[in-house]
Structure 1
């Protein structure tokens, strides 16, 4: 399962011919199997691109098949629709409950709506269940979800459906209700697969550090500079996801590569999770020898 998101706001790059900046995007693709104790180590990869169009997404994911967890951005839905009409590997969209929740939080801040508060209380129950099963196997998570979360989600859908008939679709509450119901199948996907998270927060968290760097630097000087920025961000934030100090890791990795201690056919051993495991093995051996 993969999560995907473009930065917002965009990442500008210099466009000398037009004597101004061009709005580009830094996309983040993340994977994290730790919530269901899966085999893949956590990782995030950033891709610098000229746009946030459906065609751009399709190009990035041309060989990907499986579950893609995203927010409600239209480009993902356009891509999934096109994918369904082609012979490319099938893809399912799982949507983000945190994004839906945020809309009702905004309603409460704006109007103090008791209906929105009630919806937030039900969503909080879902997150309470998720906290309890984090780190369990996919089968265990699915079993608990079907027993405990499915009834709450059913009640939530019934409440939203009733509200959709009672409130104006143009009101803040009506818009939040419409968004949630329109994305319901993807929001409830976690009830069918224990590997799926209830939200895309793994990629949301991975955007925070690059967003801060982008704010400080204002823009990149060229497309090549944007691509370099994306590569460095991928290395640093993947190290962080694996609990590795990026500075220590990069210093050691670069020294090994430059000195020839690690050959080209063994570069995978330098990836953060493999590097960390090697360090831990050496430390264990030293403790046993002491």
Structure 2
């Protein structure tokens, strides 16, 4: 808006309108500056600071506004405080006794006698032994019949012991080494080039290119398992979906590709499936869900909008994403605008919804009981919240942070309330976001994938590791068990038994050959 606009105003009312517009624009610009400052320097957590915690450098005290008539009282129940101090070391760790004795001179008493042992004091320290590597020598005995003439080393009369099948034929890598390398990268976010340096420190020359090739060959060998995992995801009533950017240097789009994640599976057996795609288009989801009938939970990305028109799909939204919009408002401007107080009202409504979920978890309610609880308690809160939003949607500048939060929530409302229709649906997509977090952390270290083949291999290995973790398996021991037994699998049942949600924890903890 220019000075000429104000000069050309023909009436006092027009001047007032211009002034109001300038005021709104000033508020929006201040919010944008504050939001940028908070992203750069503020808390990354979305949790509200507790009493006594330091606030953001750019936060201003929010005025105490009559947000809602909160009838609930807070009762602090009695609780047992945990004993402070060092936790005992695990009892299953091997112990080595280091006995400390006094010399004869030190044992002499003032009376001239030698002091006798009357007891002992025991304290424990934790020792670390650097990783050891060893070479497995496969010695295959040859057998021949001495009564046959013309015996040759490799002739028809000679028999030789069979080598166990290997996941990578003719490779020097054992299942244990492969499991260590892949767990280090995909579970601990340690890139191959750093592992190369670690191996060099213990005298092993192992190139990062070799480790990369091993990873792709392992992914190829596990392709049948990934297919089975996808079938099991599609065979169950609910799927959560999310995506995150990934740079592939030699991919079709050098600037940005995407790693998609699909979470589903039978009750109590979560499956986390990663898939690489060069695009963020909704066609990826459409192709994956081809023929699927059930519940799909997503965030508010427009690429998922087509799910609303699928008659066999119930599209559920995510309350965490709606809450996040209002949380951004509370971080901006503080007491310089009423927006922070209004956002606080919205956050209070949402916190009431989550309080119901927390109480249900603490009481161990079944899906049917939770459904009934939501109908009696959550629905009235949602009805009141919707009324609160409708009263403000036309009064708040749509480009302000509060306006964006209100319009986002209003646009997502049909999806947001769907979680109340079934007791087993969560109000948010947090489980999917948590599952994709290890990939995001790893990406900060290795930055990109070199080829499409490498990105697809990463997706397969992440799928196995994250599914194993979600089912209570330690990834190293699961991968070692898998790589040991996968080459021997022949039938469909053999492969099903190796899926991470079908392997018992006790089975992989047993000692297995390297």
Q: TM-score, length-normalised on structure 1?
A: 0.85
Instruction: For residue 213 of structure 1, report the CA deviation from its aligned partner.
Output: 1.3
> For residue 124 of structure 1, what is the aligned residue in structure 2?
351
Whether 1:99 and 2:321 are equivalent positions in the alignment is yes
Instruction: For residue 264 of structure 1, report the CA deviation from its aligned partner.
Output: 3.3
> For residue 475 of structure 2, what is the aligned residue in structure 1?
246
Which structure 2 residues correspond to residues 1-290 of structure 1 after superposition, within 5 A?
A: 1-7=238-244, 10-15=245-250, 21-31=254-264, 39-81=267-309, 83-84=310-311, 90-112=312-334, 113-134=340-361, 136-258=365-487, 260=488, 262-265=489-492, 266-276=494-504, 279=507
Instruction: For residue 21 of structure 1, report the CA deviation from its aligned partner.
Output: 2.5
Computing the radius of gyration over CA atoms, which structure comes out larger, 1 or 2? 2
C-alpha distance in structure 1 between counterparts of 2:307 and 2:414, whole Å: 17
C-alpha distance in structure 2 between counterparts of 1:80 and 1:146, whole Å: 23
Instruction: For residue 145 of structure 1, report the CA deviation from its aligned partner.
Output: 0.6
Contact 1:44–1:238 (Cα < 8 Å) also in 2: yes
The one-character-per-residue Cα deviations of 1:86-140 (angstroms, maximum 9, x if unpaired) are xxxx112100000000000000001331111111111111111112223532211
* More helix by percentage: 1
The one-character-per-residue Cα deviations of 1:150-175 (angstroms, maximum 9, x if unpaired) are 11111111111111132122211111
Instruction: For residue 40 of structure 1, report the CA deviation from its aligned partner.
Output: 4.9
C-alpha distance in structure 2 between counterparts of 1:142 and 1:119, whole Å: 23
Contact 1:27–1:46 (Cα < 8 Å) also in 2: yes
The one-character-per-residue Cα deviations of 1:22-45 (angstroms, maximum 9, x if unpaired) are 411100001267xxxxx3511110
Instruction: For residue 236 of structure 1, report the CA deviation from its aligned partner.
Output: 0.5
Contact 1:57–1:79 (Cα < 8 Å) also in 2: no
The one-character-per-residue Cα deviations of 1:194-218 (angstroms, maximum 9, x if unpaired) are 1211000011001110011122111
* More strand by percentage: 1
Alignment gaps of 5+ in structure 1: 34-38, 85-89, 283-290
C-alpha distance in structure 2 between counterparts of 1:32 and 1:255, whole Å: 25
Contact 1:54–1:79 (Cα < 8 Å) also in 2: no
Contact 2:307–2:313 (Cα < 8 Å) also in 1: no
C-alpha distance in structure 2 between counterparts of 1:158 and 1:129, whole Å: 20
Contact 1:31–1:202 (Cα < 8 Å) also in 2: no
Instruction: For residue 62 of structure 1, report the CA deviation from its aligned partner.
Output: 1.1
The change in CA–CA distance for 1:275 and 1:151 in structure 2 (over 3 A counts) is: same
Number of residue pairs the alignment of both structures matches: 265
CA-atom RMSD in angstroms:
2.1
C-alpha distance in structure 1 between counterparts of 2:289 and 2:411, whole Å: 24
The change in CA–CA distance for 1:188 and 1:32 in structure 2 (over 3 A counts) is: farther
The change in CA–CA distance for 1:132 and 1:32 in structure 2 (over 3 A counts) is: farther
- 2:242 counterpart SS class: strand
Contact 1:95–1:199 (Cα < 8 Å) also in 2: yes
C-alpha distance in structure 2 between counterparts of 1:78 and 1:273, whole Å: 31
> For residue 188 of structure 2, what is the aligned residue in structure 1?
none
